[in-house]
Structure 1
Amino acid sequence: MGNIATSVEAQIRILKERGLLIENNQKAVENLLDIGYYRLGFYFYYFQNPLTHNFEENVRLDDIIDLYYFDFDIKMLLLRYIYRIEVHFRTQLVYHTSNLYSTNNVWYNDPKIVNNDILKEFNNIYYNLKTNNNTLVKHHTKYPGDAFAPAWKVFEFFTFGQTFKFFSNLKNVELKKKIAGVYGFRDVSLLNNYFISIINIRNICSHNAVLYDFNQPVGIKRIPNLKYRFKTSNTTNLNASIRLLLYLLSKVSHNRADELERDLKAEFEKGKSKILVNRIIKSKIKFDL
């Protein structure tokens, strides 16, 4: 799609001229008005000549739609379980840090406890929360003398990324080791690598970007569990991220990890019955559970 808006009828004409098979114009109009030509373009990509944008032979719009919904369903499934890990990690950070500094319920704003760099960023975040978040508005109305609310209230409204950034900026190395130990890690750098990878996947899923061809910018470190360990040398593709998610989830709840694995297998099995989805599973995701 260029710089000039086009009607859905013109979009269909362009797609047909480029060789995409559209068997039902009325359904095509519905799909394009529902999902959008631009968003679907991310799913056209692997089936087009990058220079001419012409489609491979026998590629149907229905096949592209199947891929779009497969990708969407996997994102929604992963997001549900990533949230479980997010809540657990937030709880560990707030619980262990708040108990260590039990006389300071606003430790997150103390330069003796966290690095100065994050405090500069935090001031803007907190101002927005203080003025727009009902829970914190009520707190400051009830306690007008408080410059900040207790950590256990504030962190409930931080994103996964913001929560992890506070963990990363803790000055107490032993405290970080203790939190990493909750997940069975002696090495904090292992937790850092794993959680950054999960946050990357979480951001793709929550912002509804394309998931199936996502590659981690940094390879995921070796998983210390035979059940979830990588079977190939690819440590950046979606399959590697799925294996990591299952491993971390098993640290929170074995039942939830088993549940996610079962649901993923069912979704991928359904996907294999679709022509283009099956191709993407084999060539890009390389799902091997």
Structure 2
Amino acid sequence: MHNLRKIVTLYQSRFGLKHKNMSKLAIPISEQIERLKKKGLDTSCFSEDKVKEILLDIGYYRFGYYCHPFMDNTSDTFKDGTKIGTIIDLYYLDTDLKYLLQKYINRIEINFRTKLIYFVSMKYKKDPTWFINNEVMEQSFIDKFEDIYSEKFKTENLTIKKHHKKYPDDSFAPVWKTFEYLTLGAIITVFSNIKDEDIKIRISDCYGIRDLNKFLRLLHTVRQVRNICAHSGVLFDYRLPQSINSIPQITFNGSDRNSVDACIKVICFFTKCISTNRHNDIEKEVKELFYSFEKNEQIKKIITDKINYNF
């Protein structure tokens, strides 16, 4: 959190967003453009109207995140020759990569949720709401989940609403209905709080991993990338706060197990466990996306240095 505050402060300072209470005051597009020009950004590749369109589309503040690699850290100005088109190229690289990964993360999420529901439900066939059974789950999880499964949860989620209308005496809908409305993070939390280690190993073994700590670290890697993609965060320079565990199935670039490329390799690993065709698809699509910038030396350098992808 401390590092995040430092980064935000840096962006505020660079783009004239911080002095007294100026961070709370809006400035017109024309002034935004002038500030960028005064800092040395070359906007001549676009018309004034196009630059305005860009800033109204992306936002002046968000635009600043993608300017960062092209700034001179000593003077808070753009490096010589920096063109707005290059910054937009980086923005679309980041956006397209997030769209691409999100598609495959969705597949991983559904696959993992399905296996979790199936294997635990087969173990406890007579209890379709095993997620609130303290013989199955840790009590601390059950206490928190009972708060999540609120009246709002029951009325805002259509399948759950229909279930309780049809079965008014049920306190909870069956797991295969309920878990459809949980996030990937919540599903991982369910997995972590299952008491029976053998069931958890049986699920992780579906992906060729028997070490539960390593398996959970891989799942959390997918979750972290998923959250960035789903909430339109900045991905290209993301670094995992905790390194991915080394496993024989994944070959990382050098010793770097925190980069975006390392995250992509984890996502590719899971897709290979699910479908060979999907694994081939994601590898091809990632390669095509990165190689589409092969002749753009500035973006290629970011792909190599920040994302850690090897051309």
TM class by shorter chain equals: over 0.9
Determine the C-alpha separation between the residues in 2 that align with 1:171 and 1:181: 17
CA distance in 1, matches of 2:180, 2:248: 30
The residue aligned with 1:176 is 200
Take 2:77 and 2:158, find their aligned partners in 1: how far apart are those partners? 52
Q: Any conservation in 1 of the 2:71–2:78 contact (CA below 8 Å)?
A: yes
Aligned to 1:55: 78
Aligned to 2:120: 97
Separation in structure 2 between the aligned mates of residue 122 and residue 40 of structure 1, nearest angstrom: 39
In 2: Cα distance, 1:52 partner to 1:130 partner? 55
Q: Structure 2: give runs of 5+ residues left out of the alignment.
A: 1-14, 18-22
The answer to which structure, 1 or 2, has the higher relative contact order (CA under 8 A, 6+ apart) is 1
- What is the letter of the counterpart of residue 203 of structure 2? I
Alignment of 1:184-263 (within 5 A): 184-225=208-249, 228-263=250-285
Q: Percent identity?
A: 36
1:72-122 deviations in Å (ceiling 9; x for gaps): 000000000011111000000000011101111101111221112222322
Structure 1 CA distance, aligned partners of 2:147 and 2:224? 23
* Mapped contact 2:40–2:79 kept (Cα < 8 A): yes
Aligned: 1:285 with 2:294:
no
1:271 touches 1:277 (CA, 8 Å); kept in 2? yes
SS class of match (1:104): coil
Q: 1:11 aligns with which of 32, 53, 57?
A: 32
Structure 1 position 189, deviation (Å): 1.3
Alignment partner of 1:274 is 2:274: no
Q: CA RMSD in A?
A: 1.3
Q: TM-score, normalised by structure 2?
A: 0.89
Instruction: Write the mapping of 1:133-148 to structure 2, written as runs, cut at 5 A.
Output: 133-148=157-172
Aligned equivalents of 1:275 and 1:61: distance in 2?
15
Match of 2:12 in 1: none
How many residues align? The count is: 287
What do the CA deviations read for 1:134-164 (whole angstroms, capped 9, x no partner)? 1111100000000000000001111110001
TM-score, normalised on structure 1?
0.96
SS at match of 2:72: coil
Q: What letter corresponds to residue 27 of structure 2 in structure 1?
A: T
Task: Find 2:96's aligned residue among 55, 73, 81.
Answer: 73
Structure 1: which 5+ runs fail to align?
none
